[in-house]
Each structure stands twice: as structure tokens, then as C-alpha cells.
Chain A
Amino acid sequence: MGRLLGGIGARVLAVLAMVGRVSIYAGQVLRHLLTPPFYGREFLSALMNIGWLSLPVVGLTAVFTGGALALQIYAGGSRFDAAAVVPQIVAIGMVRELGPVLVGLMIAARVTSSIAAEIATMKVTEQIDALVTLSTHPMKYLTVPRVLAGLVTVPVLVGIGDVIGIFGGYQVAVRSLGFNSATYLQNTIDFLEPLDVISSLVKGAAFGVIATVMGCYFGMNSGRGAQGVGQATKSSVEAASVLILAANFVLTGVFFSA
């Protein structure tokens, strides 16, 4: 029993220590974000990788989710004569929750893993040391451009995902469930409020920062060899996914608990 409690205690302490290290790292990112030099070329490259190249996976995820959501709401709503609320529920469901969360998780899968693996490989092959000897701070050159790109592009991706998700629901509702096109669109527009959209974009920004900071942190702190790179990649995606879901809960509370 004592050994079990000791093991649990050690695990809790390890998690708390990691939370502390990640917090310190995030603070350092913020400090470097506000001080020159700024590497514009690396920022543009990160914008392309995180934003533009994520569009296909974000679009496909959103369109299928929106379509499935319309089917589920129609089927479930029919049980108590509420099938007509499909446009409203799809819109609010996509914009407030599913859009930001699914885009966040897709970014964690696609971008966090890629950042962690790339930086961890750079560490293993001494490229990070080489950067330092070439008078270039790795935090400024590798981390800051990626975090800033995540902050800027993920809200845009979330906005696009929201629209595509609603479009997916619209297509299913109009083509398969017999909804009138104009009425569906009018109901969607009438029901959404500015706060819904704002909360979606703010969540996107928060998730973008979480996804990129986790990728950079675990990459920079990876162990040696192929196993170290693999472990860093796995840990970064796990941490980013859990933090995104936790942040989603907190932000939902902040925006809609009243």
C-alpha cells in the first residue's frame, strides 16, 4: 500500500514539475516574442506549414463532422418533434464547440507532432548547438516564429472549419433530409450571435499557442537517439491534446457560464 501511494505521489510530483517547466518555458517564449531580433522568413515558413498546409485536413474534418451532426440531430430530434432545429444546433455546435476543438486536435496531431519531431531531430543531430555557435538563439529562431504562426493561423483555420462544418450540415440537411435551402441558411444566420464567433476564434488562438508551445517544448527537451525523438513526439501530442480539451472547458466556462 505504501509503495502504491509512493508511486502515485512520485507521479503527481513529476507531473507538477513538468507543469512548472512548461510554464517557465511559456514565459520565456513570451519574453522572446517581445524582444528583437524577429526572424520573418521562419515566421512565413511556419505560416505556410501550420496554416496553409493544414487546410485540407481541417476542411475534411469539418465537412464530415457537420454532415454527421446534421444526421444525428435530425434522428435524435425526431423522437420529440424537434427535427426542425437542425440548422440552429449544427451552427451552434460547430461554432462554439466542435469547430475549435476538432481543429485544435487536428493541429495537435499534424503540427505539434511535426514540430516536436523536427526540433528533437535537430537536437539529436547537434543542429541546435550549431545554431548557438552561429550566434542565433534557438528560442528566437525556432520557437517564436512557430508560436506566433500558431497564434495567427489557428483562429483562421477554426473560422474556416466552422464555415465548412456548417456547409457540411447544410448539404446533408438540404440534399438528404428535405430542408429548404433558404430557410436553413436564414435560421443558421439568425441563430448565431457575435459572442459565438468570438469565442470560437479566441479558442482557436489559445489552441494554436498550446499546440505550438508543446511541440517546441518537447522537441527542445527530447532525449537522445531515435527513441528520444519518438518519445518527444508522442508526449507533445498527448500534452497538447489534453491541454486543448482542458482549455476548451475553461474558455467555455468563461464565455458561456453566466
Chain B
Amino acid sequence: MIRFDDVHKAFGANQVLRGVTLEVPQGTSMVIIGGSGTGKSVLLKSVLGLVTPDSGAITVGGKPAMAGDRDAFLARFGMLFQGAALFDSLPVWQNVAFRLLRGSLKRPKVEAREIAIEKLRRVGLTPDVADRFPAELSGGMQKRVGLARAIAAEPEIIFFDEPTTGLDPIMAGVINDLIREIVVEMGATAMTITHDMTSVRAIADRIAMLHGGKIRWTGPVTDMDASGDPYLDQFIHGRAEGPIEAVR
């Protein structure tokens, strides 16, 4: 289980997180929704030590995040970044097998390449993609390579940061289905950030809405439409009128 307990974070005068408290049960797919700039990415990055909270506590499996062996802690995670964040200088297979080519999870090069090709197949890419460079791939293919990299070391916890942003509806559907399949297949705990309500319904077991630096509403995705919360209602129906100011 991942637990956020009264987490605060400010960037200068901009108070982004104002006391976030949230539990993500093990094996659950939690989707975080909320307007742009409400701190959703900051929340994910706080777990991985990419952002240090000003106060509050984050625990993973009951232990403080980033405590103890940093490598061992991070080896439990996979992350798909919004822009895929593939390393331009490396061919696709080395991007996918990055963790398997160095550090505590290091494998022989041949084995790492085989695993990379298997993961590429898993996300619907053919082995001939393996030796190409990220710049030679379309946006959708880059996202799938990013997904393959996130699952290459079979992590317990996977983070997806806006996995369908910038993709056409069909490719977005493919990515959503892949994420759902992989999370179920691996039994992983997943946290996804998205604005895309189709993704929310495809991926989520539970959702949490972040607004004003706090969790405004959280519950099963099946309860989302009948939540009775005006903020959540406005957001999921994409209405300009409502308690959330359209111009922020």
C-alpha cells in the first residue's frame, strides 16, 4: 500500500500540495484526476524522491519512501512519463532494458536484449523496432516503448503520467487497454495521472480528485458518476460552469 499523510509542497510562493492524505491499496489501479497545475505529477514524483515534500509522510508498504537502500526501493517501481522520456542516444532495446544492463538487476547483454524484445512484443511492437532510435518512432510507438521500459523489470508498482496525452483516440484506446491488461496480469499497484475521462474509465479501480492542493473526492470508479460532489461532477463532464474556475 502507498500512503500519503498530510503531504505539503510549495514551489516558492506557489503552494501546490496543501495536505494530501490518500491511500492506494496494494494491487489497485488508482487514477488521480484534477485540473492542470493542481500538483498531480508532484504527488507521484514525491513518492520517487524526484520532489521532496515540505512536510507530511509518504510510506510504501508501511515503510517511509526513499528510506534505506535507494536502489532497492526504486527497483520496485516502473514509470511511464508523459513524453515517454526515452534516451535519445540509445536504441530502443537498450532503453527498454536500461535497468537490466546496469545496477543491481544487471543481466547478460543477450538476456537483457531478449527480455526487451519480449516486452516490446507485449506492448504490440515488432522486434525490428528494437534497433531503431527513439527519434525514428511515432509518438504512439514512443509511448509503447516507454510502457515496455516501465514493465521490463516487472515492478510491484507502476506510475503512469498522462499516458494518452497527445495520442489519437485509437492509439489512446490501445494504450489504455495495454495498461489495464498489464496491471491485471502483473498484479501490480498502479497510479495514473490523466485528464482523459475515457482513460479513467478504462484504467481505474479507484479514483481520487486533487483540487486546491487536497484530495477533494476519492472512491471506486463505479461511484464516480453518482458522487454528488459538484467539483467532481464539473470535472468529469467537462463543464465550464461550476465551482472550479475555468481560468486559473
Contact = CB atoms under 8 A, between A and B. Distances in A.
Contacts of A23: none
A133 B103 contact: no
Contacts of A126: 81-83, 85
B104 A130 contact: no
Contact of B81 (A39, A45, A130, A135): A130
B85 A39 contact: no
B103 A132 contact: no
Interface residues of B, number: 26
B238 interface: no
Interface string B149-193: 100000000000000000000000000000000000000000000
Contact of B98 (A37, A45, A134): A134
Interface in A11-48: 37, 39, 45
A133 B48 contact: yes
Interface in A49-94: none
Interface of A: 37, 39, 45, 122, 125-127, 129-130, 132-136
A129 B99 contact: no
A135 B83 contact: no
Contacts, number: 49
A133 B155 CA distance: 12
Contacts of B85: 125-127, 129-130
B143 to A, nearest CB: 13
A125 B89 CA distance: 13
Interface in B45-102: 45, 48-50, 70-71, 74-75, 77-79, 81-83, 85-89, 98-99, 102
A39 B49 contact: no
B45 A129 contact: yes
Contacts of A133: 48, 50, 74, 77-79
Given A127-B85, A135-B70, A37 B103 contact: yes
Nearest to B74: A135
A132 B49 contact: yes
B152 to A, nearest CB: 9
B87 A127 contact: yes
B103 A130 contact: no
Contacts of B49: 132
B1 to A, nearest CB: 20
Contact of A129 (B75, B78, B81, B102): B81
Contact of A134 (B45, B82, B88, B99): B99
A133 B74 CA distance: 6
Nearest to B87: A127
Contact of B103 (A45, A127, A129, A136): A136
A132 B50 contact: yes
B50 A135 contact: no
A39 B90 CA distance: 14
